[in-house]
Structure 1
Amino acid sequence: MEHLTTAHQDTRAQYDFWHDIVERSYAHCDGLSRTPRGFRAEIEIAKCGEAEMTALSSDPVRYTRTERHIRRSQTDSFFVSVMLEGGGRFRQNDRAVLHAPGTVMIYDSARPYEYDYAESYRTMLLRVPRPMMEARMLGVRDLGGTLMTADRPQASLIRGLVGNLMETARDGELPDSFIAPALDLITGAFGHGRPQDRAAVAGRNQALNRIKRFMLEHLGDEELSVAGIATAQNISVRSLGRAFAAEGTTPMAWLRDRRLAEAHARLSEGRGRSVTEVAYDCGFRDLSYFGRAFKKAYGITPRQIASPH
């Protein structure tokens, strides 16, 4: 586990030192310290497979991530944030929430957001690469800025889970195998479904979500086509195309991306005996095409991500 603090930096350099850590661990952004002199903050960082655990405490601060930052830095992860002390306001998508002690929030680094924490705070965060979320949850594009209040049982479950992961990391190495069941529980809680439900719903278009569920149930069917989907769902091919066009994609492009996301999740979490088995199970019969599409999507080959960390 890595432990970094501003305590040993010159007072005039403390915030700049901290902002570099924030950009490396979370996402490129603009920051504004609310502390007139010096800046107190510290962070613990632990890897868990492709995911990352952090625990931090910080003086009051404001962070803004805009489209400009996103174009410069294509960080594509979700963050599950458990507030322990202090807190502040957070804005993303059409949501403005109060991230208070005990609450659990999810935000998306691929979309603009604004933190405004007017008091010192202490929090734990789990960084999850987008494919790991997409493999478990429909409508992840709508998820950023979702808050779970402290009084909900699901919030208590996630607080305990993230806290236990962090304590395990402090005691020694955090096994990669821990991340898959942890994410199943977290997405199940946010999707209002059973923890083992790998198609929990975050999206708002219920008709489209029903169609997507059908497609996910047939993820490994290489013969699945637009016509077959439309017939099975009692909808015209044109209407099916329009439904996906509203999200800026097509039915088959969405299916390909979900197949890739599921393959990424299985390989990175060790849920597959071989790259070939995972590719076939996710609907890819042309292994050369699978390798090219995977590398284009994630910048790494299937065999590289399947190799022991």
Structure 2
Amino acid sequence: METHAHRQVWSTEDVDAPDAFRYWSDAICDACSVRLVARTTGSEAAHFSGRVERSFLDSLSFSIVSSGRQEVVRTKRLIDLDQADFVLVYVQMKGATRLRQEGRQVAMSTGSMVFVDSARPYTLDFGDDFTQLAVQVPRSLLPSRVLADAIAVELSSSGPGRLISNFLVGLEREQRLDPQVAASMVPHTLGLLDSALEWAGKGRIAPKNEAALTRERIHHFIRRHVHDSSLNASTIAAGCHISRRTLFRVLSSDTETLTGLIRRLRVGRAQQILRTAPEKPLHVVAKESGFGSVVQLHRAFRTATGTTPGTYRAMK
């Protein structure tokens, strides 16, 4: 594996041909942070080649995967071993893929996009050479209210789906060219994925009324400032140029309280830091995640995940 300033690269060119597929099976687990099993025929394994280039952008990770014919499987046994809690967004850049999850089957063509739940078994069947972008998003950063209905539902390679997939591909490219500019786009990215989930879950993107647009602005503001320990209803209302009364009225349709939303996003940020910078002391993780103290971090982390930050870090 090569490690550069903002990315990691795995390539079968780094190993002898007889070891290429065995190396690849390990590489995709490392690159995707979830346990997977790759399968192919003996003749194809003998001439196998593949490359993964992974970059990190705040709480998200982007992996460009280029390879040959294979089947990639995530089983319940593997899920029990790593208990990864991500939503994976796959964008087909070249070739075709057949995805199976939760009894649903999707045939992906170039330009299409699909959401996958890392906590449920799934299979990716690549029939020929392909290139795919995999965006890994902590589940805590996306709304749970529509997630189940959106899993393994293809977003078409035309219309709004194509716009969102093009944005993700462009963001991955920008991350390599100018990480600082790309990082400023993360809140917008999460907002787009929120809309994409609703579209996949409902089959369409419904026009948004004023309350929905205000809600989107509130969530966007919270995501941008969640690392600020002074974030509260008053600062959010002021930052969005609305009253506290309007703030709570608009958020009344959410399935969680404002406090719960902020806590969930802060825990998600802490998880990302613990994965990508495990050497950081917990008091630094707490501060960078918006918690006032390590005690607050511990309490919120255990409530949200059922484990402690230290245990979580040791598992990664």
- TM-score range with shorter-chain normalisation? 0.5 to 0.7
For 1:165, the equivalent position in structure 2 comes to 171
Pair 1:139-2:142 in alignment: no
- AA aligned to 1:216 is D
For 2:55, the equivalent position in structure 1 comes to 46
For 1:75, the equivalent position in structure 2 comes to 84
How many pairs does the alignment contain? Answer: 245
- AA aligned to 1:132 is L
For 2:73, the equivalent position in structure 1 comes to 64
Give the drift of 1:95. 1.1
Contact 1:92 1:112 survives alignment (8 Å): yes
For 1:181, the equivalent position in structure 2 comes to 188
- AA aligned to 1:179 is V
Q: Secondary structure at the match of 1:166?
A: helix
Give the drift of 1:140. 1.9
For 2:121, the equivalent position in structure 1 comes to 112
- From the superposition, tell whether residues 300 and 51 of structure 1 become closer, same or farther in structure 2 (CA, over 3 Å): farther
For 1:123, the equivalent position in structure 2 comes to 132
Matches within 5 A, 1:237-276: 260-264=263-267
Deviation larger for 184-193 or 71-80: 184-193
CA distance in 1, matches of 2:123, 2:148: 17
Give the drift of 1:150. 1.0
- AA aligned to 1:261 is R
Q: Secondary structure at the match of 2:151?
A: coil
Q: Secondary structure at the match of 1:146?
A: coil
For 1:225, the equivalent position in structure 2 comes to none
CA distance in 1, matches of 2:187, 2:146: 19
Question: Residues 286-307 of structure 1: CA distance to partner in whole angstroms, max 9, x if unpaired?
Answer: 9956641324535565xxx9xx
Which one of 17, 21, 34 corresponds to residue 23 of structure 2?
17
Unaligned runs of 5+ in 1: 201-212, 222-255, 281-285
Give the drift of 1:36. 4.2
- From the superposition, tell whether residues 37 and 264 of structure 1 become closer, same or farther in structure 2 (CA, over 3 Å): same
Deviation larger for 107-116 or 162-171: 162-171
For 2:254, the equivalent position in structure 1 comes to 216
CA distance in 2, matches of 1:106, 1:277: 26
- From the superposition, tell whether residues 188 and 7 of structure 1 become closer, same or farther in structure 2 (CA, over 3 Å): same
TM-score, normalization by structure 1: 0.68
Give the drift of 1:3. 2.3
CA distance in 1, matches of 2:296, 2:75: 34
Give the drift of 1:33. 2.0
Give the drift of 1:278. 6.2
CA distance in 2, matches of 1:129, 1:48: 12
Q: Secondary structure at the match of 1:183?
A: helix
Identical aligned residues as a percent: 19
Deviation larger for 22-31 or 289-298: 289-298
- From the superposition, tell whether residues 220 and 106 of structure 1 become closer, same or farther in structure 2 (CA, over 3 Å): closer
Unaligned runs of 5+ in 2: 1-6, 199-204, 220-250, 273-285
- AA aligned to 1:121 is F
- From the superposition, tell whether residues 88 and 294 of structure 1 become closer, same or farther in structure 2 (CA, over 3 Å): same
For 1:297, the equivalent position in structure 2 comes to 304
CA RMSD of aligned residues (A): 3.5
Question: Residues 178-213 of structure 1: CA distance to partner in whole angstroms, max 9, x if unpaired?
Answer: 22211111221331355966599xxxxxxxxxxxx7
For 1:103, the equivalent position in structure 2 comes to 112
Give the drift of 1:173. 2.9
- AA aligned to 1:292 is R
- AA aligned to 1:87 is A
Contact 2:92 2:113 survives alignment (8 Å): yes
- From the superposition, tell whether residues 276 and 179 of structure 1 become closer, same or farther in structure 2 (CA, over 3 Å): closer
Pair 1:55-2:64 in alignment: yes
For 2:157, the equivalent position in structure 1 comes to 150
CA distance in 2, matches of 1:21, 1:218: 38
Which structure is higher in helix share?
2
- AA aligned to 1:103 is S
